[in-house]
A and B are shown apart, each in its own frame.
Chain A
């Protein structure tokens, strides 16, 4: 059984390769989290004992709290605007059956193809030199909306393509006006898609660095704060902040995937009953 022995060896080699791959992806992040609990102030080996000191430090730092508030505010407004704009566009894109909708689709996702650096500096020049608009969290939000809206368009549009429109016609036949049809049939069915789009926009905004760097005024956001500290090297306090941020994004992501997978199986999501 020479071939079977060889097949087993290949199998083992690939499994080992897979394990190495996952280690490569996760060890750096786990180390980062690990050192946030280390007593040693170097943020590195040796591990001198467990502490939550760096986390406590974080919550006492008004700069961090301020940056956190700013980040949250920008992400919330970005998510709200991008979801509204993106959902409206997705509806038109999928349902208008235009001859040039292919062109429009490419046009609307264009900001995804352009490096954030270009969007950032273009907006900086546009706001400050052309419009003489003072940079603020508002200008940051505009930049983030430009960057995240394409994601919402794609997520919501892909859900709408799978949508069974007979449900809407059935509602209309049963006497529901367009508003009621939307409220009780369409909206509940595509809600997971919209929610996923909103959460994508929220996480992307929360983590966005380059566009923020160029469009922000005197304020700071969490990624900007991290960047300003990181330039001087690794500290356990930043490790603590990083760990919390990573946990935050991962929780939002898992929830997003959950929301999407619920609609991934057509027929499983049920419209809400009326009355």
Chain B
């Protein structure tokens, strides 16, 4: 799934300047204005939507994961067998571990490449140019996910750009087959998909950093790497962790990229889930899917302090 949080330059809450909210709240108290109860009706439509078409389906999934499959039908016969299967089947566990490993690697690589890029934007680009250049980073992120994966099929494929180029230059005789359908191609494509998000989030953190501290550290004799590790990194931690969460979590549910560029060796847990549902093994599929949901919930709870979604949009 598309990672679903993103920043837009210059559209965040205005930095500095007067905060109209403070004044307003003060004025409101003075005027003795009480918020009208009628405003609460605004919650009605979204509650119907969320409860009816988000929570209820998830509850049904929980039920199905605890029921028994009989042929293609599901009968309300309570069991924990579906979960037991998940945790005792080698193939499921290996796929889960692999998914977590790929997600972790992609997240770390995206942070590693994204950090210097964000630093470049903050330090080496003129202030007026920063917003347009950041926009250039964001635009690909909001365009079709599927098409961005497809673009790489045309580059890495058997008849792709790299192979045609190398063969045209007579550097190779046979097309290279290791470019596509493995862990490497999946990781590369994921990096392409998620790097913009890492950059946007890190930019927001680095932009707030006061760089005079680095000069102070240098004056006091700290080598640059030490100043970075002890001053800059701790102060930009918020951005690093936010990027980590919002790359790692959607990665766990990735379906399209492993399906299109992963081949059999680059498979991930989402493909397994889809196959189970396609094979009408609903209870088993539901159990695997919910295990992922639980994993995500744990990550969200552990990092809940860093979940400032509203700052990112």
Q: Show the binding face of A for B, using Cβ within 8 Å.
A: 11, 14-15, 17-18, 21-22, 24-26, 28-29, 31-32, 35, 42-46, 84-86, 88-93, 95-97, 104-119, 121-126, 129-130, 142-143, 145-147, 149-151, 153-155, 157-158, 161-166, 169, 196, 203-204, 206-210, 214, 223, 226-227, 230-231, 233-234, 238-239, 242, 245-246, 249-250, 253-254, 257, 260-261, 264-266
Contact = CB atoms under 8 A, between A and B. Distances in A.
Contact of B40 (A44, A92, A129, A253): A92
Contact of A164 (B20, B43, B143, B159): B20
Nearest to B156: A28
A88 B53 contact: no
Interface stretch (B80-88, B114-122, B202-210): B114-122
A235 B147 CA distance: 13
12 contacts: A25-B136, A88-B41, A90-B42, A96-B39, A115-B296, A116-B2, A118-B61, A122-B61, A161-B21, A207-B143, A209-B145, A246-B147
Contacts of A254: 139
A32 B160 CA distance: 11
Given A14-B119, A108-B50, A26 B140 contact: yes
Contacts of A24: 192, 195
Interface string B248-273: 01101111100010000000001001
A111 B313 contact: no
Chain B binding site: helix, strand, loop or mixed by DSSP? helix
B60 A165 contact: no
B142 A260 contact: no
Given A18-B121, A117-B255, A246-B143, 7 more contacts: A32-B150, A45-B168, A106-B307, A114-B253, A121-B289, A234-B154, A265-B14
A119 B311 CA distance: 24
B5 interface: yes
Contacts of B150: 32, 226, 230, 234, 238, 242
Query: Size band of the B side of the interface?
Result: 35 or more
Contacts of A230: 146, 150, 153, 260
A122 B55 CA distance: 9
Contacts of A161: 13, 21
B31 interface: yes
B196 A25 contact: yes
B155 interface: yes
Contacts of A93: 42-43
B142 A249 contact: yes
Contacts of B49: 85, 145-146, 149
B270 A223 contact: no
A97 B260 CA distance: 47
A24 to B, nearest CB: 7
Contact of B46 (A97, A153, A203): A153
